[in-house]
Amino acid sequence: MSKKTSSNRRLIINADDFGFNREITDGIVESHLNGVVTSTTLMINMPAAEYAVERAADCPEMSIGLHVNLTAGKPVSDPSEVPSLVGPDGNFHDHQTFFRRANLCRFNSAELELEMRRQLEKIHRLGLTPTHADSHHHAASCVQPFFIKLNLLKEFGIRRMRTHRGWYRADPCSPNRFATLMKTLKTNLRRAPFRMFYEVQHMICRWRGIDTPSERYGFGKVVSPLDMRFDMECVESFLQAMPRGVNELCCHPGYLSEDPLDEPEFRVVRPQELEFFTNDDLRKALNEANVELIRYDAF
């Protein structure tokens, strides 16, 4: 999947939500086999998880991690074992509710640990050894579950996870971190503390022996505050100015579905991303920018 290059700029293109449903799963496989997606993360609690494991056999060159999920569908644990994580219907709380409660440390920590442990155990039980981890709605980057997740990753031998450093930056290619952080503090005080926490998390991960990409980016305001669009002019500019080191581009390709569990804005953007990440022009732009495509387990 990677190409030989003298560049020191390396890029992981990771597709989230493997196993969410069959349409999304098939779209991710297509984006890898006939596109530039190098890695994906599996939602082990969702209806198509077993189907995704079957499709993974078609993609031996794609690294597969765990998309820790605490905000969609039902837990792997029996809902009665994790009552603070679920509503009366036995489903996880929506992500807005989860964020409010997790950042105030209002969940039962033992229940958070149990559910994340059960998800890690299940992915191994289905025959996959995850190469990395991230989380749906980046929920496990909230204050309360973050350290629990770190401890579990080390226990299960997972040494790579997503960083969220890029999220506070107003300009994805700006070399001046201080200036962009100051801009964020002035324009968005409510979110600034969380963005600063992402920077601290990145350092904590390194101290704890967990490797993370230096920067993380996404396309469109659905998944990122960065001004990134699905057009080649924008992408070419981004690739030419992408910083040295290991970077991650997060994406959400998939075929069109009417799955009620999927958020409406994501249902719209997934087919657009599928088309974009299988476009030959994108591969050409990566080559011209001398950017090396790598899997998550290659750094």
Helices (H) and strands (E) in the chain, counts: 11, 7
- Give mean pLDDT in consecutive 10-residue pieces for the chain, a chain of 299 residues: 60 97 98 98 97 97 98 97 97 93 89 98 97 94 91 96 64 52 59 74 92 80 46 78 87 93 88 93 92 94
Backbone angles phi and psi of 226, in degrees to 5: -75, 150
Angle at 142 between CA 86 and CA 197, to 5 degrees: 170
pLDDT of residue 2: 42
Asked if 267 and 256 count as a contact pair (C-beta separation under 8 A), the reply is yes
Residue type present at position 173 = C
pLDDT of residue 190: 60
How many other CB atoms are there within 10 angstroms of residue 266's CB atom?
A: 18
Asked if 146 and 201 count as a contact pair (C-beta separation under 8 A), the reply is yes
What distance in Å separates the CA atoms of residue 235 and residue 282, rounded to the nearest whole number?
Answer: 8
pLDDT of residue 213: 93
What distance in Å separates the CA atoms of residue 216 and residue 198, rounded to the nearest whole number?
Answer: 11
pLDDT of residue 186: 62
Q: 148 is written with which tokens?
A: 């629990």
Asked if 68 and 119 count as a contact pair (C-beta separation under 8 A), the reply is yes
Looking from the CA of 171 toward its CB, the CA atoms found within 13 Å total 13
Asked if 9 and 249 count as a contact pair (C-beta separation under 8 A), the reply is no
Q: The pTM is what?
A: 0.88
DSSP output for 225-288: SS---SSHHHHHHHHHHPPSEEEEEEE--------TTS-HHHHHHHHHHHHHHT-HHHHHHHHH
